[in-house]
Structure 1
Amino acid sequence: MPYRPKTTIEQWRILQAVVDAGGYAQAADLLNKSQSSLNHAVAKLQSMLGVELLEVKGRKAFLTEAGEVMLRRSRMVTQQIEDLERLADTIDKGWEPEIRIAVELAYPKHYLYQALLKFYPQSRGSRVQIIDSVLTGTAEIIRDKSADLVISGQVPKGHLGEPLYVTRFIPVVGSKHPLADHSKLDLAELSQQLQIVIRDTAQKPQEQGGWLKSEQRWTVDNFYEAIEILQLGLGFCWLPDYTVQAGLKDGSLKVLQLGSGGEKLAPMALLSPYEEQLGPGSKLLRQCLLAAHQTEQNRENLCTINSSGT
């Protein structure tokens, strides 16, 4: 006799929401359901399984040891269901009506724009959404599979990425800043200065990368806001070298001369959070993006050959 499940996907999703939100009331707001319906769903889930998954202490719900194991396995099941539904949607629709590409802010977008120039005549009317992301915000998009393509400074475990570019970060101040003309600084001196940092786009940011040792920090949304503040003579910021070329050329920005650690390198890679369900439009855009980098590399190689020949 075929096996008949005792539980439903919806019950497991409710359990996950209660744990992730930290309680029934918070999960009810998140899911736009009544708290009593969530209590009933989890109680029925535990009853059908014959296993206690949650225990409530005060106003918060905590997982039991058995609950931790079951929750972890349930996430795999619900993710597989989501993947199946996405796959069916892709098969049914063929060419996708919308393509979402998340781009780490530190990546030079002119490569993406060149790719879109090639992609547009073949795009079949697909809408393209370009999503700026920063640090753990990019990892969050990969984890949640909320974009078709992602350009990331880190490739999470379990994913493969195509190398695209290495962004070089350098410490920069405005020409009016007291440190602009110092010949050599150490990191201890730098930690006493106001630092301008770029906001992490994650829902729950985690400071896992970047140089954040200054006690006084101002946070902005993008590099260009940071540059405007620097040009007033306020603070310093680690910035991609391609964003500050104009300011260095006109003298409004200066590179800080550090005794060591004067630059940071961030390799950028292109990946897809759900490769097996990637639609034909997304695959074509990926090819155009890889081709844009290959064209640039060929141009650089040609320049190198010509200069060595002269």
Structure 2
Amino acid sequence: MNLRHATLHQLRIFQAVAEHNSFARAAEALHLSPPTLSLQVKQLAETVGQPLFEQLGKKIFLTAAGKILAEACQDIARRMDLLSDDLAALQGVERGSLKIAILTTVKYTVPKLLGGFCAAHPGIDVAMVVGNRENLLQRLSQNQDDLYIMGQPPEHMDVFCEAFADNPLVMVAPPTHPLAGKRRIRPERLRHEPFIMREPGSGTRLTMERFFSEHGVTPINRLELGSNEAIKKTVSGGLGLAVLSASTLDAELALGELVQLDVVGFPLIRRWHLVYPRGKRQSPAALAFKAWLFEHRP
């Protein structure tokens, strides 16, 4: 066995098969024909001297050797990314790549800032992923991106976090709701009101539940939805109240589809945070976006 004979091309193909758990899907993702892909994996297995996959029924699984090689491929991919960043650094900040993962709620504000950054730095290749809190925490634990933007930084991870903007949460209702237009509504008056909530673990939901707990109120959970857009539509349909980020509500409030309730203690002020693993080496592109974000923050 001489792994020096293995090529980066073969390792990239093997990694794609391992990630997709499918030769066909990996071939499609890499724009290769299935026979070409299978041949490369076969040649890599011959170089390793052990089978890399085993097939049980219609499914394929990594062998023990395959699992070890898959971990090595991830290390090699990360090292190649660092090499790319180092080479870009020699050319200055106008070259390189940037991968950002943002919370779904932030998609109403951050993409505008990102657009300005891209216009100012057209040579930087930017990729952005939008997901819920669970998605971002999973990506963060696997160090898949350069920077993460979320509301509540994880307490169980060793991360650097810095707040860059306020994120006020407000309570909304349909315009026909009996409390619409009332002044200084006490939280206790909401004890029997149904609420449309985000999924468990959502930062918005955690903040809302903490507020009601402090006032001895257990909100009625009528429905759980995984997106702000779905919640807004459901509330405007008269199925309940909701607590949402004010940044998501400009259009609905302007059109009169929703109204903001004057509840004592609201708005609940949260912060948007820039997060990344502590000790992670930041590329020139990531440092440039971080500076841009704090300079142009809302």
Name the TM tier (shorter chain). 0.5 to 0.7
Contact 1:173–1:230, Cα closer than 8 Å, also in 2: yes
Match of residue 209 from structure 2: none
- Aligned pair partner of 2:238 in 220, 224, 233: 233
- Aligned pair partner of 2:130 in 121, 130, 133: 133
Match of residue 268 from structure 1: 272
* 1:226–1:127 Cα change, 3 Å: farther
Contact 2:108–2:248, Cα closer than 8 Å, also in 1: no
Please give the TM-score of this superposition, normalised by the length of structure 2.
0.63
Gaps of 5+ in 2: 207-219
**Residues 14-53 of structure 1: per-residue CA shift (max 9 Å, x gap):** 2221121121112111211122222222222222112232
* 1:127–1:81 Cα change, 3 Å: closer
How far residue 160 of structure 1 moved from its aligned partner, in angstroms, is 2.6
Secondary structure class of the residue paired with 2:202: coil
Amino acid in the other structure paired with 2:242: C
**Residues 65-95 of structure 1: per-residue CA shift (max 9 Å, x gap):** 3322331122111221132124324434652
* 1:50–1:93 Cα change, 3 Å: same
- More deviation, 153-162/210-219: 210-219
Match of residue 173 from structure 1: 173
Secondary structure class of the residue paired with 2:10: helix
Secondary structure class of the residue paired with 1:167: strand
Is 1:209 matched up with 2:202? yes
**Counterparts of 2:21 and 2:111 in 1: how far apart (Å)?**
39
After superposition, the CA RMSD in angstroms is 4.9
Match of residue 44 from structure 2: 45
Summarize the alignment of residues 105-124 of structure 1 with structure 2, pairs less than 5 Å apart. 105-107=104-106, 123=120
Please give the TM-score of this superposition, normalised by the length of structure 1.
0.61
- Percent identity, aligned pairs only, is 20
* 1:4–1:138 Cα change, 3 Å: closer
How far residue 275 of structure 1 moved from its aligned partner, in angstroms, is 4.3
Number of equivalent positions? 267
Contact 2:198–2:224, Cα closer than 8 Å, also in 1: yes
Match of residue 152 from structure 1: 150
Contact 1:176–1:231, Cα closer than 8 Å, also in 2: no
Secondary structure class of the residue paired with 2:273: strand
